[in-house]
Structures are given as structure tokens and as C-alpha cells.
Amino acid sequence: MSDKSSINEQEITAMLADEKRREAAFSAIIKQYSEPLYWHIRRMVLSHDDANDLLQNTFLKAWSNIDKFRGESQISTWLYRIAVNETLTFLGKNKGETVSLDTPEGEIANRLESDTYFCGDRADALFNEAISRLPHKQRLVFTMKYFQEMKYEDMSQILDTSVGALKASYHLAVKKIEKFLEEQD
């Protein structure tokens, strides 16, 4: 996704195709993408434990399907697509545990602040609460654009959605976040 990637896509793709070097290549992939994928997932599910589980599931699914990776897309695009699918599946299965607009005020902030991995102030907690109240698709687009500074073209490949639809989702998400934050003043 980013130009500052520390792994060479072509070299890693070639290593993945060679069974003798596949494990080393996959280790390099895990080292490179664990942290950004974790935070991408975490912003969607809020819980460290859930994000960690989904990250592990992402890498397990990637490893079990490594033979299907042909290098037609970037490794990062492929991994993010797997992570997005795993996260959306998780959110769909756990609808009762996800945040809705009917959640009592403060409950989301309390969940965030009680998480031992959350280290933010009140403004950060409110910002995260505003993000968590977004519909899944808008939350996903917002986190990819805002936190990861991902290009719309890259998001389009990952989410299989048009650039125009992604821009609209991002714009709506920003407006909803702004409105929520204004209401908290």
C-alpha cells in the first residue's frame, strides 16, 4: 500500500512461488504487515483480543491460500482484502456485541477506556467513539483513508468498490464524526 514498504514485492512474490523459500517469505510478510493490519482491524472491532484473533485468522487464511496468490495484486492489497473479509464476517456474526446508535451514551467510551491497551485522553476516546458509531462500511473506509492514508484506488481494489462510492462513504463518515463531536461540546 505504501511506497515506504520495506519488502520488495517482486522478490517476495518470487520467494512465495519457490516452496523452499516460501516460509522465509511469509515470515517477512508477517513482520512487515502485522502492525498495520492489527491497527486496521482494531479500529473496526475496538477490542485488542478480537483484533489479535482476527489478525491471526488473517495470516492463517493467507498461509493456507498462499498457492492461490499469483502476484497479480500487491501482497498488501491481498492481505488487506483478507483482513477486511475476516473483520466484516466477525462483525456480522457478533452483531449483538458491536456498537450501534442505540448504545447508551458513554458505554463505548467506557469500553475503550477500560481496555488496558487504550492509552488516550478524553478527546481521543470521543473520537474513537464517534468512529465506532459509524456503519461498518463507512468505518472501514474512514479508517483506511484517515489512519492509513490509503489511496482510494488501493481501497477500490481491496473492497471491490468504485472510487466514487469510496469518496462518498468517506465524506459521509467525516460529516457524522463531526456532528457527533459537536454534540459532545
pTM here is 0.72
Phi then psi dihedrals of residue 183, to 5 deg: -70, -20
Quickly tell me which residue has 478524553 as its cell. 122
pLDDT per position as a tens digit, 79-111:
999 999 999 899 888 764 444 434 444 444 455
Compute the distance between CA of residue 148 and CA of residue 89 in angstroms, rounded to an integer. 22
- Number of Cβ within 10 Å of residue 97's Cβ equals 12
Three-class HEC string of 83-118:
HHHHHHHHHHHCHHHCCCCCCCCCHHHHHHHHCCCC
- Which residue segments constitute the domains of the chain, with CATH numbers given? 7-98 (1.10.1740.10), 103-185 (1.10.10.10)
pLDDT per position as a tens digit, 22-54:
999 999 999 999 999 999 898 888 788 999 999
Compute the distance between CA of residue 158 and CA of residue 161 in angstroms, rounded to an integer. 8
Compute the distance between CA of residue 180 and CA of residue 133 in angstroms, rounded to an integer. 9
pLDDT for residue 34: 95
Is the separation of the CB atoms in 61 and 82 below 8 Å? yes
Compute the distance between CA of residue 69 and CA of residue 63 in angstroms, rounded to an integer. 10
